Amino acid sequence: MKNFFIKIKNKINKFLFLFGYRISKVNNTGELVKIYKYNNYEEYKKTQVYFNKKKIDKVWADEKTLKTISDFLKSHISSANIQGLCHGSRNGFEQNFFNNEIKNSSIIGTDISETAINYQNSIVHDFHDEKVEWINNFDFVYTNSLDQSYDPKKALNVWLNQIKKDRYIIIEHSDQHGVISAGKMDPFGVETIFFPYLLNEWFGHKISIKIIKGIKVNKSNAPVFLFVVKKLI
């Protein structure tokens, strides 16, 4: 029944988009940030692996948004061989798109589920964990999965350590990454308008933030925001 109503909503949104409107959930809780609390790490990992397998054939990323990111990277990074990480990439769609779109690139994806070994350029890894060999090694980190973090500040700090100075973390964010979508499956939610302030509170002068707005053609033309976080020191 839920899928039926989602299909109806998508059809209505397709029509409304012609006039500049769409149906969307509204956050009336008054909260700007929400983090679901698990009993322990084992519960978190078990939950993430379960939903990874349940959604293994689904892709949140879309080619239009990834092309926007690719164009940004090619215009802002002069390196002949761009090195990148895609965190929480499930079936590897993101890194394989980037590898095909950006010549001479070397981009891998991570996922907490053991299913990652079944996909090209993917490894099993919890994106909260540091890997010594990855420190100051990458030109960019991309994710649309920060909402799957039990501790987003910790995750982002690890990712900042993974990129070189003057390189980028690119976080894809939409209304489905907000407070009302936060829960056991996706523990972290933050409202789009508040996210840059939260990033500034966490990292201050260590970063700068650029916001690129677009639409998700695979999600009824929903607005999408790319938070481009540049590492300054």
pLDDT at 94: 98
The tally of CA atoms less than 13 A away on the side-chain side of residue 16 is 13
Mean of the per-residue pLDDT values of the chain: 92
Q: Where are the extended beta strands (E) located within the chain?
A: 33-35, 83-87, 106-111, 122-124, 138-143, 163-174, 188-190, 207-216, 222-231
pLDDT at 5: 46
> Which pLDDT band, with edges at 50, 70 and 90, does 1 fall under?
low
If phi > 0 it is left, if psi is from -120 to 50 it is alpha, else beta; for residue 232 that is alpha
Give whole-number Cα distances, 40 to 51, 107, 185, in Å. 17, 32, 14
pLDDT per position as a tens digit, 31-82: 999 999 999 999 999 999 999 999 999 999 999 999 999 999 999 998 889 9
Q: Domains in the chain, start-ordered, CATH in brackets?
A: 35-231 (3.40.50.150)
Distance CA 208, CA 2 (A): 40
> 3-state class of 141 per DSSP?
strand
Tell how strand 222-231 and strand 207-216 pair up: antiparallel
Is residue 148 scored above 90 in pLDDT?
yes
pLDDT per position as a tens digit, 73-115: 999 998 889 999 999 999 999 999 999 999 999 999 999 999 9
pLDDT per position as a tens digit, 9-39: 556 656 555 555 555 566 677 799 999 999 9
